[in-house]
Every structure is written in structure tokens, then in C-alpha cells.
Amino acid sequence: MKLAEGIEKLSLAEDEIGGAYPPLGFKPVLEAEGGNGDYFGLYWPYGREGQEPIVCDMLHDEWAIEVAFSRLSVFLRWLDSNDWTRGDVPVEDPLLVTTRFRKMKALVQDDPAEVIPNLQAICTDFPECSEYWFFLARQLRRIGDHEGSAEAAIRTFASNWAFGMPPHGTLRMLHNAKKSNRLANDPLVARSSELRMKWGGAKENTDYYILKSCIGEYLSSETPVLGLLLNQNYGYMMETETVAFQERYGFDSSSWIQEHSDLCSKHLGDSRRETS
């Protein structure tokens, strides 16, 4: 994964590069650490390992991360403005997807067609947040673009759940996508009626088997990134299960990380475990 200009000003955790949580491809930054396991980190979205990373913030208690800065240069300006601590002095970051998305949500009631191009740009700039894709799917459905809405629904599920779980209604959207001749055989669409999206508290969960099946199909398709994201989510959810549950499903965290990294090397040309 490509490091950005200015990286020499930061202290990076030497051996950590993510896994199930934070996701593989997350490189912790030691400056402005928040305590309780919360810290900033460089992150390369899947398939963009050769580009400049974004900067994310860990929300350890919520088992989540969020996009905090659009690029390293903005993060460095913020650190300078706050004496290299977690201060509250803001800096301008017009490319930040979280801010742009909030603005679009405030405008969408007036004219969904007007904000859709901006929502599409947000999803393109950061394609791993389920909330962005779900909101886009809803607006496309409002203007009658059911095919586009179905495609966004697929990306809602095949996002990176560390940035937020798929919202309620995602499975219904996937099920409705069966009406599309072009998308009816998509792995997630085809199995949508079998998925429950309920995790924990049970001895068995067939969703894991369905995820594995979909992962294999996507990895063999023209969109292997979706398979890698689903596999990332598989590890993410498995880490929340009991040890007994993991053993029943043959899940071992260290083995999963290595296997997942190998898949990234195969399909992306990058193991997502090293920076250069």
C-alpha cells in the first residue's frame, strides 16, 4: 500500500495493519491517540492500495471506524492546529465524504434528482460505507430508476461493515432486485430471501454459510472486490461470536487474516499488510 507525502511526520504502529477489526489495510497512527483503544489510522479502501490513503478514526467501544480526513495533508494541518493533540480546532476539508453526505441528506427532501449525482460521487470517492449506498438506493428508487437502486442495494450489503452495518430495509431492497433480469442472478440478490442479518446469541447461523457461498461467487466474477469486502465482513462478524461458535465454524482469527491477505494478493495484487 502506497504511503503519502508527509508520512515521515507521523509515528506509525510498526506491526499493526488491521485484520478483522479494524479492517485489513488500517495502519494506526500514534499521534493524537484518544485512549481506550481509540486512535487515528491510515486506511486504503479495497482496490485503491496504490492511491493516497484516507485517515480514519477508531470508535473502539462501538466496534467501528469512521472517515475523519479526506487525505493525509489535511490531517497534518489539523494536528498542527491542535498542537498535535486531540483538540477541537477544525480545519477545512471540502472533500471529506462524511461532511458532504450530511449536506446531501439535508437537501434531499427538496429534489432527489438534484442530489443524486452528488451522492453517486460520494459513493465513488468512498465505496465502503453502507449508509451512503442505502441512501443513494432510496433516492434512485424515488425517481423510478429501479435498476440503479438495485445496484446500490447490492453495494449497501457488500460494503465494509466496520464503517456501519447495512441499514434496516437492505434485505428487502435486495429481494426486490430479483425483478431485474440483469441482476436476478447476482449472488446476494439470488440468496436474499435466505439471509436474516441476525448475529450472535445462537449456536448456528446459516448466514455465515450463505456469505461464504456469495464470497466464492464474487471472487470468481468480474467484481472480486465485492467478494473481498464480504470476506472482510465475515471475519468482522465472526470476531463478535463466542469461542465455541468460532470453533464450530472452524474460524481462527490468525488463519483467517492470512487467508484473507492471500486473497487480496491474488485479486488486488497487494496483501494489504505492508506499506511502501
Mean pLDDT of 219-240: 98
Residue 276: pLDDT band (50, 70, 90) is confident
Position 135 scores a pLDDT of: 97
pLDDT in tens, 70-101: 999 999 999 999 999 999 999 999 999 999 99
Domain 96-169: give its CATH code. 1.25.40
Mean pLDDT of 149-164: 98
Number of H helices, E strands in the chain: 11, 4
| Residues of the chain above pLDDT 90, percent | 91
Position 91 scores a pLDDT of: 98
228, 197 contact by CB (below 8 A): no
**CB under 8 A, 24+ apart: contacts of 143-146:** 143/112, 143/113, 143/116, 146/176, 146/179, 146/180
Mean pLDDT of 65-70: 98
Mean pLDDT of 120-130: 98
Q: Please provide the average confidence, as pLDDT, over all residues in the chain.
A: 95
7, 25 contact by CB (below 8 A): no
Mean pLDDT of 205-225: 98
Position 17 scores a pLDDT of: 85
Nearest to 34 by CA among 14, 5, 56: 56
Alpha helices in 89-145 (DSSP H): 97-107, 112-125, 130-142
Mean pLDDT of 21-35: 93
Residue 236: pLDDT band (50, 70, 90) is very high
Q: Is 12 exposed, middle or buried (0-12, 13-18, 19+ CB in 10 A)?
A: middle
Decide if pLDDT at 60 tops 90. Answer: no
Q: Are strands 54-59 and 40-43 parallel, antiparallel or unpaired?
A: antiparallel
Mean pLDDT of 103-116: 87
Nearest to 18 by CA among 128, 95, 125: 128
Among the ranges given (108-117, 142-151, 176-185), the one the predictor scored with the smallest mean pLDDT: 108-117
Residue whose C-alpha cell is 456501519:
164
Residue 141: pLDDT band (50, 70, 90) is very high
Report the alpha-carbon distance of residue 192 to residue 184 in Å, rounded: 10
238, 209 contact by CB (below 8 A): no
| Residues of the chain above pLDDT 70, percent | 100
Residue whose C-alpha cell is 510498526:
14
Residue whose C-alpha cell is 473481498:
228
Q: Is 57 helix (H, G, I), strand (E, B) or coil?
A: strand
Position 262 scores a pLDDT of: 98
Position 248 scores a pLDDT of: 96
Cβ partners under 8 Å of residue 123, min gap 6: 129, 132, 133, 136, 152, 155
Position 21 scores a pLDDT of: 96
The domains of the chain are located at 7-81, 96-169
Nearest to 67 by CA among 9, 146, 127, 109: 127
Q: Are strands 26-28 and 40-43 parallel, antiparallel or unpaired?
A: antiparallel
**CB under 8 A, 24+ apart: contacts of 182-189:** 182/147, 183/147, 183/150, 183/151, 183/154, 186/154, 187/213, 187/214, 187/217, 187/218, 188/154, 188/157, 188/158, 188/214, 189/150, 189/154
pTM for the complete prediction? 0.96
Among the ranges given (34-38, 87-91, 177-181, 242-246), the one the predictor scored with the smallest mean pLDDT: 34-38
Mean pLDDT of 6-17: 90
Position 108 scores a pLDDT of: 79
Cβ partners under 8 Å of residue 93, min gap 6: 69, 70, 74, 99
